[in-house]
Amino acid sequence: MSENYSVKEIELTPNPRAVKFILDKPVLDSGSKTIELGGYLESDIFASNIFALDIVDLVYLRENFISCTLHSADLWVVFKDKIKNIIEADLKKYDEGDDDEVSSSILDDFDKEKYHELSNDEKAIIVDAVLDESVRSALANDGGGLEVIEVDGPIVRIRYQGACGGCPSSTGGTLRVIENHLKSQLDPEIKVHTYS
């Protein structure tokens, strides 16, 4: 059986600088991984070769896809096939993601009325679980994701990942959808801010 990946499909994302490469098998068993320039081991041939192109801002991996965000949307015309070839030649499965996403089963016994009584760390766990249950899969469809950075009282700070980072809709419509969803699920006082 071949260790190498095949790119089954290439999809555009709402972020014109990012493209999503759908693979024939999972690249991670759970969670997600963001690789930025300098943020990888030299032994990672895939990351070394992708960033050697000198046009990639970041690579986001989740489930069975990779999204690559380039310095400029115009570069895709020239580099799409080259990036596909690097994925198929050099990508190996990663052992683990950067984040261990919370099981949404934590919400099964959770009483929404008690949310405001929780510590900020406990609130972050609940917010993460709600986003995992409802929002992350939609963002993954567009080649991105989000991370809960912290909860400070009613303020929830998130960081967009993958194609969502730097996407025009992530700071407007998407952010409002996330905020409204958390307000309806947890606390009408919640305000969501992005953190970069």
Smallest CA-to-CA distance from 160 within 144, 173, 179 is with 144
Tell me what the mean pLDDT of segment 18-38 comes to. 90
pLDDT of residue 172: 79
In the predicted structure, residue 95 carries a pLDDT above the cut 90: no
Tell me which residue range forms the domain holding 123: 104-194
Residue 1 lies in a domain: no
Pair (11, 69) in one structural domain: yes
In the predicted structure, residue 41 carries a pLDDT above the cut 80: yes
Question: What pLDDT band is residue 39 in, cutting at 50, 70 and 90?
Answer: confident
Tell me what the mean pLDDT of segment 179-188 comes to. 92
Tell me what the mean pLDDT of segment 170-195 comes to. 90
In the predicted structure, residue 101 carries a pLDDT above the cut 70: no
Provide the CATH number for the domain around residue 42: 3.30.1370.70
Tell me what the mean pLDDT of segment 115-141 comes to. 88
Pair (70, 108) in one structural domain: no
| Rounded distance between C-alpha atoms, residue 99 and residue 21, angstroms | 21
Which one is predicted more confidently, 168 or 85?
Answer: 85
pLDDT of residue 86: 96
Provide the CATH number for the domain around residue 140: 3.30.300.130
Pair (57, 120) in one structural domain: no
149: which residues sit within 8 A by CB, 6+ positions away? 157, 158, 159, 195
pTM for this predicted structure: 0.72
Give the end of a domain, one of 90, 112, 140.
90
